[in-house]
Amino acid sequence: MITAHDIRASNRRKVFFLFTAFVVLLMLAVYIVAYAYALHTYAYEDIDGEKSYLSRFGGAVAEYVVDSVANADAQEIHFVFPDTKTLQKKAHQFALGAVAFVLLLAVLWLKGGERLAVSMALNASHAVRLQEEQHRELYRLAGTACIGAGIKPVKLYVISDRGLNAFSVGISDDTAGIVLTQGLLNKLSKSELEAVLAHEVAHLRNGDVRLMMAGLSSALLFSFLSETMFLLSFNPKKGGFVSMIVGFVLGVLCGVIGWFALPLMRLALSRSCELNADAEAVLICRQPQALISALEKIGQDSYVSVLNNHPTMAAMCIANPRGKSSLVLYLSGFFSTHPDMSERIEALRRMDGGF
């Protein structure tokens, strides 16, 4: 029989692979875009006392034309391209600097932007802090899950909505919290609620919130770069038609990365994180049937009206809080933020007792 340990190990490998691929894709994309931009920019500028590459290229073309006219009887006249080593070296240095700069920004954002991200998530969901004095039993269940996961107790919040859903916020001990809907508190039994809390605690322990923040920030960065490149491509002051073509191509490349590639990678990461959190919740609370029952109820009514207008937060929830998208996307599951609920429940049933 498959065990929760097997499921957890498998999904951790998937998360590691996806996150590694995500980082590699991001850094490669930054390098390519920066390298192409630097090649275009430095081609117009004098480098290390030499004339610009385009000036030397124009001179080579003029020399080729003169030689062709002067030596009309020659059987073969070769066109010699100017040396590009200096140009390539400068572009390579610029691209490496851009990669280092993006990595630095990512680290600063994950460190310094944590509280801002938590505040934005709580404000967007209209979540209200639950006081421990008034909800001792709920905090006891959350505390038990935290002890089982080996993390410090977390804050609890509630959304005034009859839908059944939950998500976790924060990265550090000071900001970590779990947000529950009022419908979840009203309709789940104590054991089911404990299983849901264990699922969200697993997300906090695994740092899944950090992964989602990194994915979202990266996608937004390339979407912004795409729009910037499109705007610059219509500025004819420097480079003329060539600049327009280069800017348009870079804009398309950034758009493909920011609007399709990185979001799809982030969704794949989200789906693996959900399966992993399910398996770890079983190890924490030791009640797979309680989690199965909770997911069955959540799957029937996971819609949360206040989150319907915030698609970027959908991947953070235990189930998709938004209304159904188009029929094609719904049937294919291509852009789904979560694994199919039946798939999750089937995996839990297979490990029932095997933990």
- Catalytic residues, by residue number, are 200
The two tokens of residue 217 are 């920030």
Separation between Cα atoms, residue 341 and residue 233, nearest integer Å: 45
The two tokens of residue 263 are 């979001």
Residue 354, classed as helix, strand or coil, is coil
| C-alpha distances out from residue 68 to 63, 64, 65, 83, Å | 8, 6, 5, 21
The two tokens of residue 313 are 């937060």
Beta carbons of 109 and 215 less than 8 angstroms apart? no
Phi and psi angles of residue 215, each rounded to the nearest 5 degrees, phi first: -65, -45
Smallest Cα–Cα separation from 352: which of 292, 288, 290? 288
Distance, C-alpha 208 to centroid of its chain: 11
